[in-house]
Structure 1
Amino acid sequence: MQNNNLYALFESHFKKDLSKTAFESPDGKSWSFNDVIKTSAQLANLLAQTGAKPGDRVAVQVTKSVEAVLLYLACLRSGLVYLPLNTAYKSAEVDYFLTDARPVVLVCDPADKEALSPIADKANVTSIFTLDENGDGQLMADAAPLSTDFPTVERAKDDLAAILYTSGTTGRSKGAMLTHNNLSSNAQTLSKAWAFNETDILLHALPIFHVHGLFVALHCAFLNANKVIFLSKFDAEQVIKHLPNATVFMGVPTFYVRLLANDAFNKDVCQNMRLFTAGSAPLLEETFNTFTQRTGHVILERYGMSEAGMITSNPYDGERIAGSVGFPLDNDVRVADEEGNILPDGEIGILEIKGPNVFKGYWQMPEKTAAEFRPDGYFITGDMCRKDENGYYRIVGRSKDLIISGGYNVYPKEIESYLDDMPGILESAVVGRPHPDFGEAVVAFVIKDGSSEVTPTTVIDYIRDKLANFKVPKDVFILDELPRNTMGKVQKNELRKLAAG
């Protein structure tokens, strides 16, 4: 019987040349594929020692490092469910994730262990390990003496590989359950669609706690046993320094805006490159065109989400159109109205998808899961879309009031729930405002109740203590009342005009 464990698929490619470099850091340190296999085996043995069993969750909130990637691979080969958490999340946010997912293991930064330990204890986490940005910590120290052999656990296609929490429209985050087949099918589709080959070198500057950096970029590299130049974070000067030695770069629009702001970014730097991709947020046509003029390369924009990985892509061979997300990948795609009636080409409606990459459902939310799927199995993405006369799809709007800031999803309701609890605030509303660097910035409007002092500064400080920095409002406006329609609903379109003005 074939083992459908995603790690088994990756390892079959790693073993083609164990001496080949898998990861290379800017300081010259490197890891071979042999190192990857052996170290992930040691980590898998350590996880097994904790009593973690296939299907159990492992929550990870650590700074980006190669060792963190090896931990991910160890979870896969152990049959454990990997639960990456944004490093920007504060204790109150982590409390919710641990309470909801009930992981048996938590791996965190050494500096956060004291604050997270009581939260982990409350959620019945049995083991806590530390891992810092240099790849040091209790995790690696405890794994070092263990065996470098570990038999990859048998997994079926439908077994869970990861849970990714997505911001919820009601303020409660939802855990998207991704199976081994969801991830493997999407990786194989992307590798083929984007013409990956064994000579490619990926320059990696994305975070590794969400789909883009962890699944899209790394999985394509793993399937081809590519070398990855692994940057700890995006830094324009570092990217420009290493681009001549790479062939593929994946980024969010903010990356490209910042590269174009650097005079050293030019055609010579990009002469060895074959592919630049952009996603996680809309790419401005101006950025698209300026990039082509500066470098001679055309950015390949694609569209995806936590629940399905990549869904559409502009062609590798063929015209890439600014503002378009291209054609469906390994999905059945349709545009429908709110009742699910399929709309003719050219009309704007909600994008619905079906395919092997579409997630299993939301963790412990059967009713929410059922509500998001049509009776015939199509998932309702909530994104407003139009198919043009040439077959290209364009995302023209977003469901609800989603804000995308720096590539991260921000749901206003979550911030509003905290603002409404702040002493002195009667009511609040949060919207997005165009921002030249982040795409959108969070802006808050509040109504005071007179019980406590409320200023823009006190509001920002209050939220900064409770939520990740990308959710903190850049501006706060104090109003006498919020604009409402005849039904009493807050008119956020009017607030967006106020924010822009």
Structure 2
Amino acid sequence: MNNHNLFAALRAAFPTDLDAIAVETDDELCYSWRDLDRATAMMANLLASLDLPAGARVAVQVEKSVEAMMLYLATLRAGYVFLPLNTAYQSAEIEYFIGNAEPAVVVCSPKNFGWVSKIAFQAGTRNVFTLGDDRTGSLLDRAAVHSDVHEPAAKAADDLAAILYTSGTTGRSKGAMLTHGNMLSNAQVLKDYWGWQPGDVLVHALPIFHVHGLFVAIHGALLNGSKMLWFGKFDPRGAIAAMRRATVFMGVPTLYVRMLAEPSLTREAVGSMRLFVAGSAPLLPETFNAWRERTGHTILERYGMSETVMLTSNPYRPEQGERRAGTVGFPLPGVGLRIVGDDGRELPQGEIGGIQVRGPNVFKGYWRMPEKTQEEFTADGWFKTGDVGLVDERGYARIVGRSKDLIISGGYNVYPAEIEGYINELPGVAESALVGVPHPDFGEVGVAVVTARPGATVEPDAVIATLKSRLANFKIPKRCFVVDELPRNTMGKVQKNLLRDQHKGLFT
């Protein structure tokens, strides 16, 4: 294939019968493969008509819908760069992303047009469209007048396809640049490794603003010509009911916990299912075991990042080994993984160190941050993931911690330094520390511990209320405590491990 445009590869995998159902939604709408082809062509032609510069970014913050997926595919098709933004992001965050990425096009929910368009126009964006989750919005109105035929733009494998923002420990978000080649190579590897087969049907219940739902799930289904049963929002009962007509489900641990709470989850209900995949956050062994006992299926846990798409996976085929609770399996074909000590030396099996990776799936670097990119890659080209782990005696990788102090709540990344920065700016606050503690539903949630300035009073509820007006909901601490002082070691560093221990039983 001379054209390495990811869309061209996905389009080539569409079934010969374009009138077959490609997507069926939870509100009983059906989209054929022909609908996907025509609608993405019209949107691609709309983007092409805007006279955008080469490599233009299309920033999108909309609710989940099939049309939103089509917009992603149309952006690839037209040869531009897709920039998905979490629907929970508030004005301060959107202002940063638009200022940093300088998108030529911004697409937002109709209800947010007032404030999003103001930020976008002030930043120099010329085109702002709306897209609702009910098939309304100016994007669809404008696309409707364009041709439904479009030749995918010619792209090299190394050309940029998407930018995903991932917060840093300093609180400054970094845009991970993923190429057409990064994503296509990963999708092709997973198609084989996870045994995608004719007749597979995917229950799509994930958000589509991050790697798991947007890339792993959608690319997997499209590259296999597989129908998707589409949920705008996760509904445990609805998802279980849909499994009678499906074979594959991908979810974060929180989704599995919620389905286990439903009496309708039985072996009979999942009798036609072939594969359950979990990722984006650690899967507790209790959840792993409870699911196997209840359904007869063993969840396949895997490991990936915004910067790399998928890196490792527990085996799909029994002859490759068992799926082991608490592990993320083996490096995928073509992916290198090594465990490195503080001195940069590769460690033997069983020893804990920093996880480094390389492969065709590893991103191009951080958007407009050459120094940060250089810092995160070794001299011999390995990417430092920031995760801490080991490879056991049987070759299975285990993630044992996160050197970057990350909290993963319900599958979303929460970076303490970012939240602490906002808390420390509040009136009366002297200092704060955010720690992650176990939570039965979200896996982990943030707890803020705050000290007040001399003579000042800080109200815990007021801290949380103020954060809610500024930040995405998944970043908001579930509890806030005001204390006289934070525990420190002899070097003056806050001992977050003591705070975690102190509050670890709050929700369990």
Give the alignment partner of residue 335 of structure 1, picking from 323, 330, 339: 339
What aligned pairs does 1:191-202 form with structure 2 within 5 A after superposition?
191-202=191-202
Task: Pick one of 379, 385, 390 that aligns with 2:383.
Answer: 379
Q: State the 1:411 CA deviation.
A: 0.3
Cα distance in 1, alignment partners of residues 389 and 287 from structure 2:
21
Deviation at 1:331, TM superposition (A): 0.3
* Aligned pairs for 1:213-224 within 5 A: 213-224=213-224
Shift in alpha-carbon separation, 1:152–1:199, aligned structure 2, 3 A? same
Q: Which moved more, 1:49-58 or 1:113-122?
A: 49-58
Aligned to 1:225: 225
After superposition, residues 163-242 of structure 1 pair within 5 angstroms as: 163-242=163-242
Q: Specify the code of the residue in structure 1 equivalent to 2:238.
A: Q
Residues of 2 paired with 1:417 and 1:51: CA distance? 40
* Corresponding letter in the other structure for 1:424: G
**Partner residue of 1:265?**
265
Aligned partner of 1:312: which letter? T
1:320 aligns with 2:305: no
Pairwise CA distance, 1:122 = 1.8
- For 2:52, the equivalent position in structure 1 comes to 52
> How big is the shift at 1:105?
0.3
2:418 paired with 1:414: yes
Hey, what does 1:98 align to over in structure 2? 98
Q: Check the 8 A contact 2:387/2:404 in 1, yes or no.
A: no
| CA distance in 2: counterparts of 1:486 and 1:309, whole angstroms | 40
Q: Which residue of 2 aligns with 1:305?
A: 305
Tell me which residue corresponds to 2:70.
70
Residue in 2 aligned with 1:8? 8
CA contact (8 A) 2:487 2:498 kept: yes
> Structure 1: where are the runs of 5+ without partners?
none
State whether residues 62 and 68 of structure 1, in contact with CA within 8 Å, keep that contact through their aligned partners in structure 2: yes
Paired with 1:16 and 1:337, the residues of 2 have a C-alpha distance of 52
Q: Percent identical across equivalent pairs? A: 57
In 1, Cα distance between equivalents of 2:55 and 2:158: 12
Deviations 1:327-381 (A, max 9, x none): 0003011111123210011101111111000000000000000000011111011
In the TM superposition, what is the alpha-carbon distance from 1:452 to its structure 2 partner? 5.2
Deviation by residue 1:26-68 (Cα, 9 ceiling, x = unmatched): 2221111111111001001111222223310000000000000
Cα contact 1:266–1:295 (8 A) shared by 2: yes
Alpha-carbon distance in 1 for matches of 2:289, 2:226: 30
Q: Secondary structure at the match of 2:488?
A: coil
Say whether 1:399 aligns with 2:381: no
Please tell me the root mean square deviation across aligned C-alpha atoms, in Å: 1.0
Q: 2:357 aligned to 350, 353, 376, which one?
A: 353
Q: Distance in 2 between matches of 1:473 and 1:451?
A: 25
Tell me the distance in 1 between the aligned counterparts of 2:342 and 2:138: 51
Question: Is the 1:340–1:374 Cα contact (8 Å) retained in structure 2?
Answer: no
Aligned residues: 501
Q: Give the whole-Å Cα distance in 1 for the aligned partners of 2:442 and 2:23.
A: 29
Distance 1:271 1:15 in 2: 26
CA distance in structure 2 between the aligned counterparts of 1:142 and 1:394, rounded to whole angstroms:
49
* Pairwise CA distance, 1:17: 2.5
Amino acid of the structure 1 residue aligned with 2:187: A
In 2, the alpha carbon distance for the partners of 1:480 and 1:401 equals 23
Mapped to 1, the partners of 2:184 and 2:281 lie a distance apart of: 24
**Offset at residue 135 of structure 1 (A):** 2.3
Q: Structure 2: any 5+ residue segments left out of the alignment?
A: none
One-letter amino acid of the structure 1 residue matched with residue 135 of structure 2: G
Query: 1:146, CA displacement in angstroms?
Result: 1.0
* Counterpart-to-counterpart distance in 1, 2:44 and 2:456: 52
Contact 1:50 1:126 in 2 (8 A): no
SS at match of 2:229: strand
User: 1:383-440 deviations in whole A, cap 9, x for unaligned?
Assistant: 1111111111111111121000000000000000000100111111111010000000
Can you list the C-alpha shifts for 1:262-306, whole angstroms capped at 9, x where unaligned? 111110110000000000000010110110010000000000000
Asked if the contact 1:270/1:295 (under 8 Å) is kept, the reply is yes
CA distance in 1, matches of 2:470, 2:27: 35
Listed as ranges, the matches of 1:420-439 within 5 Å are: 420-439=424-443
- Distance (whole Å) between structure 2 residues aligned to residue 52 and residue 24 of structure 1: 33
Distance 1:404 1:151 in 2: 40
Provide the secondary structure at the position in 1 that maps to 2:83: strand
User: By how many angstroms is 1:450 displaced?
Assistant: 4.8
Q: CA deviation at 1:463?
A: 0.6
| CA deviations over 1:469-499 (Å, ceiling 9, x no partner) | 0011110010111111111111111111222
State how far apart, in whole Å, the 2-side matches of 1:456 and 1:178 are. Answer: 40
CA distance in structure 1 between the partners assigned to 2:37 and 2:140 by the alignment: 15
Q: Residues of 2 paired with 1:120 and 1:15: CA distance?
A: 39
Aligned 1:451-470 pairs, distance under 5 A: 453-470=457-474
The residue type equivalent to 2:52 in the other structure is A
CA distance in 1, matches of 2:75, 2:52: 10
Distance 1:19 1:96 in 2: 43
1:370 alignment partner, one of 351, 371, 374 = 374
Shift of 1:16: 2.7
Q: Counterparts of 1:198 and 1:452 in 2: how far apart (Å)?
A: 66
Match of residue 150 from structure 1: 150
Cα distance in 2 for partners of 1:217, 1:416 equals 33
Cα distance in 1 for residues equivalent to 2:344 and 2:362:
18
